[in-house]
Amino acid sequence: MAPHFEELWVKCEEFQREATNNVAVATIMEELMMKISLYRVIDAKTEIPAAERQKIKSRALGEILLTLTCLSVKDDINVYDSLNLALMYRSLEHYNLIKPQTA
């Protein structure tokens, strides 16, 4: 049985802790930007059949997420709290955009 997402994230962070002990944050960010650029290129390749492109994009997103685990462990960031806070602020922004204006 596959682990829950949180367990998988922790497992990836543990892997990253061992694998990238002496890697600078700047290097991690460069890798992340490269993978995001690759995702953008894959998305633009409309000559690739949609199902195949979806598989490639899924693999690329997995690599992006794995790189994010490297960043979270390197900077000791609680990703649950960070994501929860980001959602809270984005939800407030969204609510304020759709809320009818009263005079």
Tokens of 62: 């997995």
d(CA 99, CA 95): 6
**DSSP at 100:** P
Q: What is the pLDDT of residues 27-63, one digit of tens each?
A: 999 999 999 999 999 999 999 999 999 999 999 999 9
Q: What does the pLDDT look like over 3-31, one tens digit per residue?
A: 899 999 999 999 999 888 889 999 999 99
Domain ranges of the chain: 5-76
Residue 39, number of CB atoms within 10 A of its CB: 17
Alpha-helix runs per DSSP H in 1-103: 5-19, 25-44, 50-74, 79-98
Task: Tell me what the mean pLDDT of segment 84-88 comes to.
Answer: 94
Q: Check whether 98 has a pLDDT greater than 80.
A: no
| One-letter amino acid for residue 10 of the chain | V
